[in-house]
Amino acid sequence: MEKNSTTSRQKQSKTGIPNIRVHELAKQYNLTSKDLIKEIETYGIIVKTHMSSLSSEAVELIEEQRSLRSKSEEKDVSLTKAKAGKSEAKQQSKVEVEPKIDQPERKTKKEGEEHKRKAVEAEVVSEEDTEAKSVPADNVPRQIQEGITVGQLASQLGELKSTELIMSLMGIGVMANVNQSLDYETLIAISDQFDFEPVRQLTLEEKILAEMEESDDPEDLAPRAPVVTIMGHVDHGKTSLLDAIRDTNVIDTEAGSMTQHIGAYHVEYDSGNLVFLDTPGHAAFTAMRARGAQVTDIVVLVVAADDGVMPQTIEAIDHAKAADVPIIVVVNKIDIANANPDRVKQQLMEHGLSPEEWGGSTIFVEVSALEHTGIEDLLEMLLLEAELLELSSNPNRNASGTILEAKLDRGRGVAATVLVQDGTLEIGNPFIAGMYSGRVRAMINDQNKHLKEAGPSTPIEVLGFTGVPEAGDRFNVVSSEADAKKISGKRRGEYRQSQLGPKSQVSLEDLFDKVRTGEVKELNVIMKGDAKGSVQAISGELLKLSADKVGVSIIRGAVGGITEADILLAVASSAIVVGFNVRPTTEAMQLSTQENIDVRTYSVIYELISDIRAAMEGLLEPEMREVIVGRAVVRETFKVPRAGTIAGSYVNWGIVNYNYPVRVLRDSILIYEGKIESLRRFKDDVNQVSTNYECGIGISDFDDVRVDDTLECYTLERVARTLSS
């Protein structure tokens, strides 16, 4: 099903002359697409993207305007030359006349100019003196560095005695002696009393990171290759597409023809270089972003022409939009007999991705990864999109990047895939990555070649880590291995402390406080429900709650149970997860507990809307909070006389308790709520059954329990809300 891509994209104008795209015309003028768009906007021609088509009339207008501008520029050059000629003639005339001027008169003129210059300087100095005198020096508070001792502070403050300062410190609950160092918080507490400005002492890590975050001189920046992430539904051909691009066989090395790891590949093309990330799913993409790693410049969304938009396609769109990166849609498998690319385009329009040829701004490329058709068009569009993004970095600085994947190799130690984003990484460089430090022992690229150095937008495998970092951790080269070890030790200590203390989260309870302090301006909500109509209705009601101080944003609304992907998206977007008549999967529940994500489920719309409204207004009262205590999976059912149906179950998480409330979930959708009426182990009645044990569960007034149903045991606890009325 091969097509001439250029012919298929062009449309015929009324005059019979084919239209031309912006980027094609830019090539003819030897301009970038961005520069041409700016230029033609001055002619009154407005276009959306570099893929927009220009009619023959528009091209004629551009030609006329460029011709007129060219003539005007030539005229300006001629006038400039003429003026330069006249100026030169005057200068020569002046030189010829100058000897006739009397010498004393010329000296008088010079003396007059010198006198004027001195008068102006004296006036400026006088003004500066006046300004300095108008602002007394004693009005400027002195600066005191953190870490100063009590005795040194008393000395710098003038006539103050150390004993007086110690008494003042005791007044705020700080017991100190003359030689004790004062921290930043203590200095703040007494700064108003003694009229000084405390200056916080930067830690070693803060100093190093501050140096890394310093803006580069524009002259030091060089263009870099764009980083492209391929996303989409399973079996829609993501890896096959990458295989076609690289012209190598990735699939043969992967179990079941599915991507089992995060791969990063460097591809060289005639018009430029590209870096592709092939993820095992959008969950990994968002997991990295949840840790603050924004590694992707462009997302390629792969949709099969014969299958259309699927649930994972929609999830991929939500994750890409949340990351705020441009999306290029690849309609794959156009070689299949029942392929219908137009149907795919219509479906994607419902999710905000409108094709450029239909008046939208999203680039669509039709390809067949199997037959290698349309691949060049895709690469061209990616490079054009990268051109508009104007991607650049400084290769002449300490390297920094992001960990894409890390593992412990029995023979080589810790091996991590690193995407270098700034600077140049070299063998022997000391580095810090997350909680771990190290020194670069070896660098291997995707072609299994050992490198001595790697510049920006280069994916490489690095050996030399002291521990296994997390995907998404920042990778930074530091000046010495000793500095790296100090930072590593500090970070590990902070991590242990954070595990012991309470974790922060965006929940309904603390939303009001965060809004009041300016930390949160918008409440992000992930909405899941049992039916599309319910999701739309609830989403609409939540959006109506937006107020002046805080708004509500539905970053994802979909049908189905709450999954791990929803929790990861919530982590990355600081969102809460709300479910209506649906429940989270066991994996999602465990991840939400680990990441401290607020997951709320409701069966009455009014309660859902009322709860969020009350939280936004800061009027929450003490509430009854449900706590999930255990889950069991039904493996077999038994009919027992006078007892009804007994669910032979396996407890896979937590503890199942007798006489506790229980929910029956089928495919993560709520079927029934009741109470555990009987709980037995073999022939004995028991009060509770723990994880990894089997048991028989009888549910009050419910006999329609089936194999693979999930039984969720929970209890209600009274929890005092932290918000003031």
- Residue 31 — φ and ψ, nearest 5°? -120, 165
Residues 144 and 234 in one domain: no
Residues 253 and 356 in one domain: yes
- List of the chain residues with pLDDT < 70: 1-18, 74-141, 159, 203-204, 208-214, 248-263, 278-293, 497-521, 547-550, 615-623, 719-725
Residues 347 and 477 in one domain: no
Residues 530 and 492 in one domain: no
Residue 138 DSSP symbol: G
Residue 240 lies in a domain: yes
Kindly report the CATH number assigned to the domain that includes residue 641: 2.40.30.10
Residue 633 lies in a domain: yes
Residue 102 lies in a domain: no
Helices (H), 98-174: 103-134, 150-156, 162-171
pLDDT of residue 442: 93
Integer Cα distance of 542 and 537 in angstroms: 9
Among 21, 25, 27, 29, which Cα is nearest to 49's?
Answer: 21
Residue 592 lies in a domain: yes
Neighbours of 560 (CB within 10 A): 16
pLDDT of residue 427: 95
The rounded Cα 298 to chain-centroid distance in angstroms is: 12
Residue 470 lies in a domain: yes
pLDDT (tens digit, 9 = 90+) per residue, 552-577? 788 888 888 998 888 888 887 778 89
Tokens of 281: 């799913």
Residues 696 and 570 in one domain: no
Question: How many structural domains comprise the chain?
Answer: 6
Residues 335 and 453 in one domain: no
pLDDT (tens digit, 9 = 90+) per residue, 596-615? 888 889 888 878 888 777 76
Last residue of a domain, one of 393, 425, 449: 393
pLDDT (tens digit, 9 = 90+) per residue, 694-725? 999 999 888 889 999 999 999 988 765 443 33
Last residue of a domain, one of 500, 517, 552: 500
Residue 100 lies in a domain: no
Residue 627 DSSP symbol: E
Residues 645 and 579 in one domain: no
Range of the domain at 274: 224-393
pLDDT of residue 630: 94
Residues 697 and 678 in one domain: yes
Residue 254 lies in a domain: yes
Kindly report the CATH number assigned to the domain that includes residue 250: 3.40.50.300
CB of 612 within 8 A of CB of 508?
yes
Residues 30 and 158 in one domain: no
Integer Cα distance of 335 and 339 in angstroms: 7
List beta partners, residue 413. 409
Pairing mode of beta strands 694-699, 644-654: antiparallel
CB of 605 within 8 A of CB of 538?
yes
**C-alpha dist (Å) from residue 281 to 227, 260, 363, 451, 559:** 17, 9, 22, 29, 19
For the whole model, what pTM was predicted? 0.56
Kindly report the CATH number assigned to the domain that includes residue 19: 1.10.10
Residues 419 and 472 in one domain: yes
pLDDT of residue 85: 59
Last residue of a domain, one of 393, 427, 446: 393
Integer Cα distance of 197 and 194 in angstroms: 9
Residues 468 and 324 in one domain: no
pLDDT of residue 141: 67
Length of the chain in terms of residues written:
725
Residues 443 and 470 in one domain: yes
The rounded Cα 191 to chain-centroid distance in angstroms is: 39
Amino acid sitting at position 473: D
Residue 134 lies in a domain: no
pLDDT of residue 212: 65
Kindly report the CATH number assigned to the domain that includes residue 526: 3.40.50.10050
Ranges of beta strands (E only) in 423-477 are 425-426, 430-433, 436-444, 453-454, 458-465, 474-477
Helix axes 375-389, 238-246, angle to 10 degrees: 90
